[in-house]
Structure 1
Amino acid sequence: MNGSLFEPRLRDGDYIPRFFAYYYKQWHDYTMPYHDHHSTEIMYMISGLCRVDVQTGGKMEESITLRKGEFIMLDAGVSHRLVVEGDQPCRMLNVEFGFTEGVGIGPSIRQMAAEEQEVTALMSRPFPYLVLSDPEEVYYALKSLVLELDQRKEHPGAMVELLFMQLLVRIARLREEVGRSDTQQMDVYIKRCIEFLHLNYDRDILVKDMAAAVNLHPGYLHRIFKKHTGQTLTAYLTMLRMDKARMLLQQTDIPIHEIADYVGVGSRQYFHMLFKKHTGKTPVEYRSAVERHVWNYAEDEEG
């Protein structure tokens, strides 16, 4: 079978790792041609700076800059190339591996996945490549694995299998930790954005204004806001404005023609259209239909 970690057979049968290449290499001012492997590849950045270009869908190209302590794991069959520019060299540790059917001394991939839910999650969510910043736990496992492979070239043995399983668990756990951290950070951005909208709905605000308020790129904020709330930024702002308009129509005597300004909709005609779409009634119909709850400030003070 090929070397993809996402091959379904890995979770059904008993497979152990098989290593095709493992080496340290220092690169200087070099551009590698595009190529792919039948194996999964890990490129770990020990020092310096480099770029990895990856072709994902068709000829779509994505560029990833790797710095010290970062690594990329490329799925089998993914076309990529390494680019090192300038005088500063980069030093990497590369490992290419696949899988072969058989029962080793240690646990199989299937058995490890059954014990470690993070490994199951990693194998169940395919990706063309994965980039992570390592707190050195992955590097120590990777370095130990390569040292053992160098010393036991002909008969890798149980230690190689155990070190590979440790490496797999380290990567899987790190990915889950990063995912949780990213989600928590996104939650902070969404909360700040919503607070900004509630404080500024009466103004003429654009997506770029919302993004500037939370220090994010407008396109990125738009994507994470939609993912977390199920609404676009403009849809949420419109909903907020219409909810405020309903409250003002029900609880105040503010003239209807002025309420558009109170909720930040510059055109009164556009406000009427939005309000009817949101509530099913025109502002006049809504004010006539609801029970009025207008505050009597004089009575409030006397009480």
Structure 2
Amino acid sequence: MTTIYDISKETGFSPTTVSKALNDYPDISNRTKQIILNKARELGYIPNSHARILITKKSWTIGVLFDEKLNIGIKHPFFNSIIESFKKSIESRGYDLLFISKDIGGRKISYLDHCKIRGVDGVIIISSDFENSEIQELIDSNIPCVLIDVESDKASTVHSDNLQGCFLGVEYLYSLGHRKIAHIHGKLDTYAGHVRKNGYIKAMEKFNLEKKDEYIVDGGYFSFDGGYKAMKKLLELDEIPTAVFVAGDYMAIGAISAITENGLKVPDDISIIGYDDIEHCKYTTPKLTTIRQNTELIGENAADVLINSIDKKNARTSVIVPVELVIRNSCKAVK
């Protein structure tokens, strides 16, 4: 097995310099680090994890706490994409990921206890229930945390510019001549549901459009069924909206299904805009116009923020990631 002494002999650098380069110490120049890292890869060097922990005082393990109410789990394309991006960025810096549960060996424990037992250096938290007492306990601890898709005054956060996303959606519908614009929102006990509903209201006010209470419908926890049922309610109104801004793509796809089932067409009769730009949007009929969240950038920023927090390079940080309108075929100008 290759050792640091073998690398030292091959490169001409001292064992101490080699060790510091392999463990990313700041007092080693980038050129020296690159020479040593290249030689380490060439020789097939595999670091001893226990020695690495003793030297760096880190476990080199990041916890992933994923908890949502959609009952889709990690298969949800939006969250899955964020975790994949985060994983690539974290692993490129030598960290492993560990999913945090409330169970070790069949014994129920708290999230915080699990993190302490495993000795994680930090945690990325993706949850639709940040008021959960056990999640709050972890956030309040001295373990560095970064929260995804939420705002917080207790921990670092990374989330999309939801207000701008709502403005872009309503602005586009307005530009097409729509004035009767409804909104299907997610559950208001979720950050996305709450902030996007407020964003819709502010955007309607910006364009001096009438906000009708009956045009604002709860779509539940961002599911297909929730969007379907919410759209059914809108279709029962005496004055049906000409367009609907929906706070999530799954709900938007459900809304399209309800409209089609009712004998109407999207976008000929009703225009629909979703939110997230999940992969499914490209394959719906019609293809869904939506607000794209940059999941790759969210994951990369989350990794940067968390690593800086672990290395004590920053205090609490909030990163807002830009969004963009993706125009496809589900919207049409009013005649």
Q: By the TM > 0.5 criterion, same fold?
A: no
TM-score with structure 2 setting the length: 0.23
TM-score with structure 1 setting the length: 0.24
